[in-house]
Amino acid sequence: METQTATAKNDTHMDVYKIVNDRIIGQLEKGTVPWRKPWTEAGLPQNLLTKKYYQGINMLLLGMENYEHNLFITFQKLQEIGGKVKKGEKGHMVVYWNQVENKEQKPGDENQDHKKKSILRYYYVFNISQCEKIPEKYLPVARETKELPTCESIISAMLHCPPIRHKENNAFYNFKDDFVNMPKKKSFKNDASYYSTLFHELVHSTGHESRLKRETLNQMAEFGDFNYSQEELVAEIGTCYLQSHAGITSEFQQSAAYLQGWLAQLKGDKKFIFQASRAAQKAVDYILNIKHEEEVPQK
């Protein structure tokens, strides 16, 4: 039985980056794109007891495991409620940023932001299907059915939403004039495809200087460069998050060039997927008007 400790204290933050990055690369090299699936069936990855949703990279890490119910719990909390891990089951990594004193701070620097620095740490959680003897009151009796926001309500709720025009027969976000252009809805094979494409462009729009001022949008250059690759990944991950909130699914039609471009960036920079998933979470939170607390280990 795997009973990993709640946090890893002896590993450096670069070890954590590498562990997670290698997992994502492994999925891509098998032809599986871990962020290309909204979690409408199993639900967004969620802590069993606190009911808080996991965010950013953790949503990808836990969502790619393909469980029937995306409900997770730490080993310690599982013991506290009388449950146990099934023999042979291994925990799944969840990462978080720990604020520590910055020993490299220069003398005389009184800037509060420089006194602390973030170190990446991780702990382990188990899916409820990996556990036994969990009291029934904690388990889902049947698949939860709750009213989901419609696609239109998500769009109408977005603060400072850019104008959405239907003048040209291709989808794009115009950064200079701050508007989204979409083909007419009848041009798409179904409504889900239309709204998924629109979500993609709206995620791009959150990077505008009047909103989140995201560097990867403001400094996008040619296809394949770092900012272009990361901005497209931010938009794609963000689209999947929004699809899950709206309860829709739609296939992505990206070329092999995108896949190879992401692989090249991931292999060249262990922080690439972390930065993209974190930026995607911020973009979605902006669109949905959600404020999250900092994620901390639930031991």
Helix pair angle (272-288, 56-63), 10° resolution: 100
Amino acid identity at 80: E
43-63 pLDDT, tens digit per residue, is 889 999 999 999 999 999 999
Say if residue 80 is in the same domain as residue 156. Answer: no
3 state SS of 89: coil
Please identify, among 104, 136, 168, the residue that sits at the C-terminal boundary of a domain.
136
Domain contains 7: no
pTM for this one?
0.83
- The alpha-carbon radius of gyration of the chain (Å, integer) is 20
Residue 202 corresponds to which tokens in the numbers above? 């709206």
Domain contains 177: yes
195-249 pLDDT, tens digit per residue, is 999 999 999 999 999 999 999 887 766 666 788 888 989 999 999 899 988 888 8
Domain contains 145: no
Per the structure, the complete domain to which residue 217 belongs is given by 151-288
Task: Annotate 168-191 with three-state secondary structure.
Answer: CCCCEEECCCCEEECCCHHHCCCH
**Nearest Cα to 155, choosing from 55, 249, 63, 242?**
242
Q: What are phi and psi of 132, to 5 degrees?
A: -140, 165
Domain contains 294: no
147-165 pLDDT, tens digit per residue, is 668 999 999 999 999 999 9
Say if residue 132 is in the same domain as residue 36. Answer: yes
Please identify, among 93, 111, 136, the residue that sits at the C-terminal boundary of a domain.
136
3 state SS of 260: helix
Residue 250 has pLDDT above 80, yes or no: no
Q: Which residues pair with residue 72 across a beta bridge?
A: 47, 127
Residue 61 corresponds to which tokens in the numbers above? 């890490």
Q: How many CB atoms lie within 10 A of CB 255?
A: 8
How many domains is the chain built from?
Answer: 2
